Structure 1
Amino acid sequence: MVDLDGKVVLVTGASRGIGAAAALAFAEAGATVGVMARNQDGVRDLAARIGGIALAGDVARAGDMERAVAAMGDRWGRLDVLVNNAGVIGPMADIASADPTVWGQAIDINLKGVFHGMRAVLPMMRAQGGGTVLTVGSGAAHAPREGWSAYCASKAGAWMLTRALDHEARAQGIRAISLSPGTVATDMQAAIRQSGINPISQLDWSVHIPPEWPARALVWLCGPGGDAFLGDEVSLRDETIRRRLGLAA
């Protein structure tokens, strides 16, 4: 286990799924954790459980992200890790029938939300001599899926943002890494299954990994193990990575 004692972490989309599991994993590793969701009530109990802070905000709004980062700095004087986790899958529809407003909302959250997070943390991280920005990516960034045009496009953009951040800021001590977790047993995956829109929706539930696996990987990437993946993407489909993390095959 990576020792993160004394480190301060902010996790977006922390009310459930990978975000909630990540908050617990970071706290277990010794970090102080801020948990952010659009509804503060959704993360209040989690924050109390881990001794952190509950933050209300929408990553799609630059000002909300800036205020969340400022709150972390005001409370603890630093921010060592940002986990860009907030994301949505919809609209699950082909391009011809997709609702333009809902399509745009996916871009606002999955892509612009990552940009807003990166932009908000850079001044503080640069001033303190460095930090780690982890973005929860997806295999959908690299291959089109039926009915997922917004999700695929936004995740592809987020992957490029990780590469761009590494290109611009590695010299200032900023560690930018993307994690592609594969299919995870979360509420999002349940919605995908219900849609029946593409082959992923037909997968047996037993093949999906638990959210604790990507949570564990996110913590690991904050340690020396992550140094080999700066500006890159780590896939939990990779059996070598799973073995390094001590996860079941």
Structure 2
Amino acid sequence: MSTGLAGRSVIVTGAGSGIGRAAALAFAAEGARVVVADLNAEGAAAVVEEIGEGGGTAVAVTGDLSEQAVVDAVTATAVERFGGVDVLVNNAGIMDGMQALADVTDTEWERVIRVNLTAPFLLTRAVLPHMLAAGRGAIVSTASEAGLRGSAAGAAYTASKHGIVGLTRSLAVMYRGKGIRANAIAPGGTRTNIAVTAEQGAHGPTTLGPHFVNVGRLAEPEEQAAAILFLASDAASNVNGVVLPVDDGWSAV
């Protein structure tokens, strides 16, 4: 079945590296036009150049997506350059330090929630009017194994990814009659540049340690991107409200 993505306007956040980069390249390879959104200007520019060298079309927008002005710029770029927003991939995110709740500082909590949950909320809210006007749209968010269980990350990250799961399901219910689908992937361990800085011996890392015995193999970013591409494509036209583990069976253990 055709993906139906040729000519579509796609926003991918966190597209300067890792899963986001792989997703941006995958969409471009299908003929989609891609807004590469990332905090890292150099990384975003490199992905746009790579897409261009492959014959695709992309433009970079850089900035902190938890800021409304940046969200507005990303949305306006997609509309002005590519005629609308057909697909939104909420992928940008950061890890926490595996802290147990009593050890989470206000600064850490607010930083993780702002990037992982508030930014996707803001961008989704911004693109919805354009999708509603078009009568169609696909939203795919990157949740996590930590959105399915309490033993895959610290309190802040776990709460943020459970929030993404809830946001995805709410969107699916609220807008399924409007031609808009919302789904998420729940990656397990994946080879990206996101690092975890945990305090050895702290309650959180010490408690979580045993739960990573059956994590399975690390995925490549392209494997996560393939799942994102499927959920955004016409091949998944009746798939809505799904949180799809891409984790080598970790969620089944």
TM-score (normalizing by structure 1): 0.87
- Please say if residues 10 and 86 of structure 2, whose CA atoms lie closer than 8 Å, have aligned partners that are also in contact: yes
Q: Within 2, Cα distance between the matches of 1:207 and 1:215?
A: 17
Q: Within 1, Cα distance between the matches of 2:41 and 2:92?
A: 14
- Please say if residues 193 and 201 of structure 1, whose CA atoms lie closer than 8 Å, have aligned partners that are also in contact: no
Higher RCO structure (Cα 8 Å, ≥6 apart): 2
Superposed, 1:114-193 pairs within 5 Å as 114-145=120-151, 148-188=154-194, 190-191=195-196
- Please say if residues 188 and 248 of structure 2, whose CA atoms lie closer than 8 Å, have aligned partners that are also in contact: no
Unaligned runs of 5+ in 1: 240-249
1:98 to 79, 101, 104: 104
1:199 counterpart residue number? 209
SS in 1 for 2:66: coil
Residue 160 of structure 1: how far off its partner (Å): 0.5
2:55 counterpart residue number? none
- Please say if residues 14 and 43 of structure 1, whose CA atoms lie closer than 8 Å, have aligned partners that are also in contact: yes
Further displaced range: 5-14 or 192-201: 192-201
Q: Within 1, Cα distance between the matches of 2:200 and 2:229?
A: 32
User: Which letter does structure 1 place at the counterpart of 2:45?
Assistant: R
Further displaced range: 99-108 or 222-231: 222-231
Going from structure 1 to structure 2, the CA distance change for 1:3 and 1:70 (only over 3 Å counts) comes to same
Superposed, 1:1-249 pairs within 5 Å as 2-51=3-52, 52-145=58-151, 148-188=154-194, 190-191=195-196, 197=205, 198-199=208-209, 207-237=217-247
Residue 164 of structure 1: how far off its partner (Å): 1.0
SS in 1 for 2:181: strand
- Please say if residues 99 and 198 of structure 2, whose CA atoms lie closer than 8 Å, have aligned partners that are also in contact: no
Residue 146 of structure 1: how far off its partner (Å): 7.0
Further displaced range: 158-167 or 41-50: 41-50
Going from structure 1 to structure 2, the CA distance change for 1:7 and 1:195 (only over 3 Å counts) comes to farther
Q: Within 1, Cα distance between the matches of 2:28 and 2:77?
A: 18
User: Which letter does structure 2 place at the counterpart of 1:121?
Assistant: V
Q: Could you tell me the percent identity over the aligned residues?
A: 36
Q: Within 2, Cα distance between the matches of 1:22 and 1:44?
A: 15
Residue 90 of structure 1: how far off its partner (Å): 1.4
- Please say if residues 98 and 198 of structure 2, whose CA atoms lie closer than 8 Å, have aligned partners that are also in contact: no
Residue 142 of structure 1: how far off its partner (Å): 2.2
Provide the aligned C-alpha RMSD in A: 2.4
Query: In the TM superposition, what whole-angstrom CA distance separates every residue of 1:154-204 from its partner, at most 9, and x where no partner exists?
Result: 10011101111111111111110011122111122x436997823389669
Count matched residues: 238
Further displaced range: 229-238 or 35-44: 229-238
Runs of 4+ in 1 over 3 A off after TM superposition: 192-196, 200-206
TM-score (normalizing by structure 2): 0.86
Unaligned runs of 5+ in 2: 53-57
